[in-house]
Structure formats: C-alpha cells, structure tokens
C-alpha cells in the first residue's frame, strides 16, 4: 500500500483559508499523513497559530498522522529559539528541513523533508542511523538515483515529491518583497497577495520561476503520475503532494485512484490539468532532463489493470 503525504503549505495564506484547507483535508482527502507548520518564513507563523490546535484535533480525529515542519533556513536568534522550542515541546514528530534541526533532535524519531540534500544511499543511511524514520527525497533527483537510494536498504521509508511546484532555493533576502519596493524587515506580507507565488518571466516574456517570499520555486508543477508504477516497483512506498492554490482534495483523490488502479495515468493527468490549469506540468528531473521538461510516456506504459 503506497501512502500519501500532504506536505506543508509553502505559501502565505491567511488564517481562515489555511484552517479551512486543512479541515477539508481532514474530512475528504485520502491522505495518510499531513505535515503542518511554517517552513519558509518565520514571520508568517502568527497567521496560523490561532487555528493550529483546531486543525490538529480535526486531522487526528479523521485518522491522519500529524507531523510538524521545521524552518528551512534559520538566520536569526528568534528563529533558532522557535525551532528549539518546537523540537523540545512538541508531542508530534518533527520534519527536519535543515541540518541544524537534525542536530537538535538528537536521535529522536523524525522525518527528513525534501529541502535537505539527500543525494545518495550513504547519506540516507547516516540520517536513518540518527533517527530518521522517513526521508522525502529532493525533487530534483532523477529516478536512477531514487532507485539506487531505495536499493541501499537504509532503514528509513523513502518518499518522493510527486505533485507541486518544485522548491528550488531559499535565501536570507526576500526577493518577493523587493519586487514590490519593500524590504524584508518591512515586507508588509506582500507575498500573501499571490497565494500561488509571484510568476517571473524572462526578457522574452516566457514564464520561468515563481517567487514565494524568500523561496524560489519552479513555474511548472511536478506531476509524477505516469511514473508511479516504476517507483512502486523500486520500493517507494510514500508520495508527497505539495499544496498549491487549487483543489488539493481532488489531487489526492486522483493519485489514490491511480495507485488503486481505478484509473490509468493518462486519465489522471487529464483530471489534474483540469484541477490545476494555471501551471504547466513537468517531470524532467525524474527523467534526468531539465526540470521544466515534460517527458510523455507511451499510452498506458508501465500501467497494469
């Protein structure tokens, strides 16, 4: 049985929208695990704090496993205290998104997020020895590397980033605020004006990247649907869906239908494109090509009814 994980929301959504998203996930989404919390920018944390207890209780009543995400980049003493307090006081598992969080966890069972560079079996094995029970591999890894890490018998369950704009980089500076004439310290939370990120274009007016506060993401949305069978054959038992500003319950249902062999990948892609029409799909990294590429598979290739 392949599990589905709903990753953390990388974007800034206002509190009620954030709460309602997770309440619907609790009631309707066929996911096994939900990662909560702020990953990108510590200044956003206060938007979700008033709703956190309600969301956790609702998710757990629905039978979902709740995990808390740590920050991907710690640059301030305030952020260091936040990560330390999260690890010391939380009764839930923590997903580490940088090496400092891994050091603080000190052997306690935890997860590794896709922002940590796990590029080979030796790294995965070391992290597992330090307490990592699940590792979401970086989305830029080609399938050849994914299968090699899976074959290394690391002891940790491996997860693949199967849907969502790809997180590419994170910075101490906020290009999103700067693009609107603000500084990071006085950003006015302008990133909330684009709940699916601020699209960037090249000089030729081609869509290129997306800004999300201090984070840079792909313009395209990774959609590994035709590749599910080969990943399952390689031993991957968990897939991550990264929330976008679309019907993520519908996305989760579509992936579950493919995994249960109730629809074929081609039909699933049609459904996903209808759910999330604002971003072109890509799977280039998986096929060892440029990440924005779309590599079409032969109809029904690798799919058995």
What's the confidence (pLDDT) of residue 303? 46
> Does some domain include residue 305?
no
Q: Answer yes or no: is pLDDT of 198 > 70.
A: yes
Exposed/middle/buried for residue 134 (C-beta within 10 Å: 0-12, 13-18, 19+): buried
Query: What gap in Å lies between CA 18 and CA 92, rounded to an integer?
Result: 20
What's the confidence (pLDDT) of residue 305? 38
Query: pTM to 2 decimals?
Result: 0.94
What's the confidence (pLDDT) of residue 212? 96
Query: What gap in Å lies between CA 12 and CA 189, rounded to an integer?
Result: 8
> Does some domain include residue 299?
no
Query: What gap in Å lies between CA 168 and CA 233, rounded to an integer?
Result: 27
What's the confidence (pLDDT) of residue 87? 93
> Does some domain include residue 230?
yes
Q: Answer yes or no: is pLDDT of 36 > 80.
A: yes
Query: What gap in Å lies between CA 261 and CA 158, rounded to an integer?
Result: 22
| Predicted confidence (pLDDT) per residue in 76-129, tens digit | 899 999 999 999 999 999 999 998 898 899 878 999 999 999 999 999 999 999
Least Cα distance to 135 among 72, 120, 231, 144 occurs for 120
Name the E strands within 100-236. Answer: 110-112, 132-136, 157-170, 198-201, 207-212, 215-223
More confident call, 241 vs 183: 241
> Does some domain include residue 18?
yes
Mean pLDDT of the region 202-212: 91
> Does some domain include residue 41?
yes
CATH number of the domain at 150, please. 3.20.20.70
- Report how many domains make up the chain: 1
Here the tokens at position 253 are 């249902």
> Does some domain include residue 302?
no
Range of the domain at 127: 3-165+221-279
- Location of structure tokens 């839930």: 92
The C-alpha angle 78, 84, 88, rounded to 5 degrees, equals 145
What's the confidence (pLDDT) of residue 206? 87
- Per residue, the 3-state secondary structure of 59-101, as one string, reads HHHCCCEEEEECCCCCCCHHHHHHHHHHHHHCCCEEEECCHHH
What's the confidence (pLDDT) of residue 66? 98
> Does some domain include residue 170?
no
Mean pLDDT of the region 52-71: 97
> Does some domain include residue 182?
no
| Predicted confidence (pLDDT) per residue in 137-175, tens digit | 999 999 999 999 999 978 899 999 999 999 999 999 998
* Beta bridge pairs of residue 218: 209
């Amino acid at each position: 049985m392949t599990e589905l994980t709903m990753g953390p929301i990388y974007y800034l959504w206002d509190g009620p929208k954030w709460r309602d998203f997770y309440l619907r996930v609790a009631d309707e989404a066929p996911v096994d695990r939900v990662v909560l919390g702020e990953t990108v920018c510590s200044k956003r944390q206060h938007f979700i704090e008033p709703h956190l207890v309600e969301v956790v209780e609702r998710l757990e009543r629905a039978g979902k496993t709740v995990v808390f995400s740590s920050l991907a980049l710690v640059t301030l003493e305030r952020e260091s205290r936040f990560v330390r307090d999260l690890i010391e006081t939380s009764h839930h598992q923590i997903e580490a998104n940088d090496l400092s969080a891994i050091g603080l966890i000190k052997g306690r069972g935890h997860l590794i997020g896709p922002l940590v560079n796990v590029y080979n079996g030796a790294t995965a094995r070391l992290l597992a020895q330090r307490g990592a029970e699940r590792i979401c591999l970086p989305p830029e890894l080609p399938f050849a590397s994914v299968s090699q890490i899976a074959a290394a018998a690391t002891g940790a369950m491996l997860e693949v980033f199967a849907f969502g704009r790809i997180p590419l980089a994170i910075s101490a500076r906020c290009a999103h605020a700067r693009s609107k004439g603000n500084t990071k310290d006085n950003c006015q939370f302008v990133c909330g004006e684009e709940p699916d990120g601020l699209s960037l274009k090249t000089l030729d007016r081609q869509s290129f990247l997306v800004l999300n506060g201090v984070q840079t993401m792909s313009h395209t949305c990774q959609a590994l649907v035709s590749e599910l069978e080969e990943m399952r054959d390689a031993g991957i038992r968990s897939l991550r869906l990264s929330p976008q500003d679309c019907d993520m319950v519908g996305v989760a249902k579509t992936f579950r239908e493919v995994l249960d062999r109730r629809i074929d990948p081609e039909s699933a892609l049609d459904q996903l494109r209808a759910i999330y029409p604002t971003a072109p799909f890509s799977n280039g990294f998986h096929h060892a090509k440029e990440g924005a590429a779309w590599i079409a598979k032969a109809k029904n290739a690798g799919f058995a009814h």
